Amino acid sequence: MVRPSHSLAKLMQPRLRRPVSRLQLFERLDGALAESRSIFVAGPPGAGKTTLVASWLDVRQTANLWFRVDPADRDPAAFFHYLREAVLGRSRRLRHAFPHLTPEYRSDIPGFARRFFRNMFRYVPDRSVFVFDNFQDIGSDAVMAPIMADLLSEVCGGSIVVIVSREEPPPCFARAAAEEILMRIDAADLRLTDGEAHAVARERFTGTADALAEVVKRADGWAAGLTLLLESASRQDQTARGRNASASEELFGYLATQVFEQMPPEERDFLLDTAILPFFSAAMAADLTSNARAAQIISSLYRRHLFVHATGAVERHFPVPRSVPGFSRPPGGSDAVTAAAAGRLPDSRRGVHAPRPSRTGRRSFRGLGRLAGGDRGARKR
């Protein structure tokens, strides 16, 4: 494989440790490259998006350019600076073809972008793969999202673009999809099959067959969850009950740091306000939280694969313990994740109040605490 020389981690393909070969998805990626069709890989955190693409490139030994997007790339000048560095990593002699986005070009950024992209595909080897990871950091930007959509229409020479994101493609990508120059790999595709999950587990876990099967069942196809559960289950100095509690805490910690704490305060409050209910509609959520934007928040969470699932004709929100594979709980029960979530709430949000009638025809549960057992004092008793 042709690897450009870079000193920036932003422009380096991730190094993987014992990735599972996902042959069915590899075949889809192979087909996209053979047909010169770009790919949008969308899925929730920990679904294995980056690992899938990086492992495919390693196995196929394909020439590639890797670009890890971050929020600073919402500035087109910063984006094209680093993309220029990525291209020039192959040959510094190409500087003349890739100018910086200086003030004289600012009046026509789309035109600058098209010229940049055309030169990029002109000078890189044919059948190259251009990967833009963490696209969600610029996917909603009014300037950069259309620029990336334009990139797809400039692909040539048998090359393809692979975009990796936690969110669904923005509306400006609809044309590329309609013209069939953009394929999709979504969250359902990314779920590990039983065979893939067992292959990973057998390589990393030395416990009994029954214990291995239980870990695979709890992970339910979630790649990051499987890894964390295997690491926890492999610790020989814990009891079975201790392992389960530790695994729950580790999974909660992953979601807290990688997802929850990165969310806007309004969305965090929304999730905390609704965490005790098994499901609800947008109308129920608006009444529950007194937030007139409840429907928009649910729609945004659903689009970003964060704790919201669509069932039937109504989108229903599932609290964290239910939306993380491996954490379904019996009615009236609780688990370590629920307890941890409750512990994060300020005292003022833990009280239980009587439901009152509402205009939706249902009862309002505004202010319902996260613990079914009652308030702080009840927990101490």
Instruction: Provide the domain count of the chain.
Output: 3
* CATH assignment of the domain containing 96: 3.40.50.300
Residue 132: strand pairing partners: 67, 163
Size of the chain, expressed as the number of residues it contains: 381
Within-domain flag for 242? no
d(CA 230, CA 224): 10
Closest CA to 85 of 4, 195, 193, 192: 4
Non-local (6+) Cβ contacts of 225 within 8 A are 46, 218, 219, 251, 254, 324, 325, 326
Shared domain for 78 and 161, answered yes or no, is yes
* CATH assignment of the domain containing 316: 1.10.10
> Which stretches of the chain score pLDDT less than 70?
1-7, 233-259, 276, 278, 304-381
Shared domain for 179 and 99, answered yes or no, is yes
Helix 144-154, helix 76-88: angle, nearest 10:
40
Shared domain for 146 and 286, answered yes or no, is no
* Range(s) of the domain holding residue 278: 260-380
What pLDDT does 46 receive?
A: 84
Shared domain for 58 and 131, answered yes or no, is yes
Shared domain for 172 and 208, answered yes or no, is no
Shared domain for 201 and 186, answered yes or no, is no
Shared domain for 156 and 220, answered yes or no, is no
Domain limit, last residue, from 156, 190, 224: 190
Closest CA to 151 of 55, 76, 46: 76
Shared domain for 322 and 211, answered yes or no, is no
What pLDDT does 120 receive?
A: 94
Overall pTM > 0.75: no
d(CA 220, CA 296): 29
Shared domain for 311 and 208, answered yes or no, is no
Shared domain for 201 and 139, answered yes or no, is no
Integer CA distances (angstroms), 17 to 8, 20, 58, 203, 258, in order:
20, 9, 12, 12, 20
Shared domain for 202 and 270, answered yes or no, is no
Q: What is the DSSP string of 290-358?
A: T-TTHHHHHHHHHHTTSSEEEETTEEEE--HHHHSTT----TT---HHHHHHHHTS-GGG------EE-
